[in-house]
Amino acid sequence: MARRTAGTATLLAALLVALVACGTRTDDGTSSGERVPITPRAVAAIALDHLPGDTSRQEEMYTDGRDAPGTIGVDFQYGATGGYDGDLVRVALAPGERNLDCANSHCASLATDVEGAEVVLVWEEIVPEEDPGIVTVLLYRDGEKSWVYQAGPTITGDPRRLDLPVTVEDMVEIVEDPRLRLETTPEAIAAGRDLEDWG
């Protein structure tokens, strides 16, 4: 009888360890809740999980005094030729609250499953012979914001109804990615280090 009790105790202890291990899974699929400061290369790795991989160039976004302190991001160029730099897709994030002014742009709120977040679509339409237009998706949450911006394709109206190389749905997937935070996962940092085409 004593042996049976000891065996039962050992089995219960093993089950408890397994349950505790399962309980440490996080929403981003890692087995640890550890978070570390994000890097440009990690931003690129996260974005490329949602973007086409045939970039002409991928490099850290240039920032200056007009950008909020702590802004970090990556520029991807697609379809570059000898006389054309290519279409631009920028993925970035920064500390800060919503400060969006829709006075000179079209704006629309988008649904999101991210708790406590707000997602906004912003676009400017083509100005003939001057500007093909731009499309931006922004996500605001917990004192930080992330955004995806694309320029190059001609924007003639609501981008949700246009056949864009990077769709609005793709852009939303990027900003909603739980790893795209100022504090990200060690796995995202490692994936960034492994990028082969970094500019």
Q: Are strands 72-78 and 57-60 parallel, antiparallel or unpaired?
A: antiparallel
Provide the whole-model pTM: 0.83
Spatial separation of the C-alpha atoms in residues 132 and 125, rounded to whole Å:
7
Q: What is the pLDDT of residue 4?
A: 46
Each residue's pLDDT tens digit, 50-93: 999 999 999 999 999 899 999 999 999 999 988 888 999 999 99
Rounded Cα distance between 199 and 197, Å, is: 6
Q: What are 125's two structure tokens?
A: 């339409």
C-alpha to C-alpha distance for 196 and 199, rounded to whole angstroms: 9
Q: Identity (one letter) of the amino acid at 108?
A: A
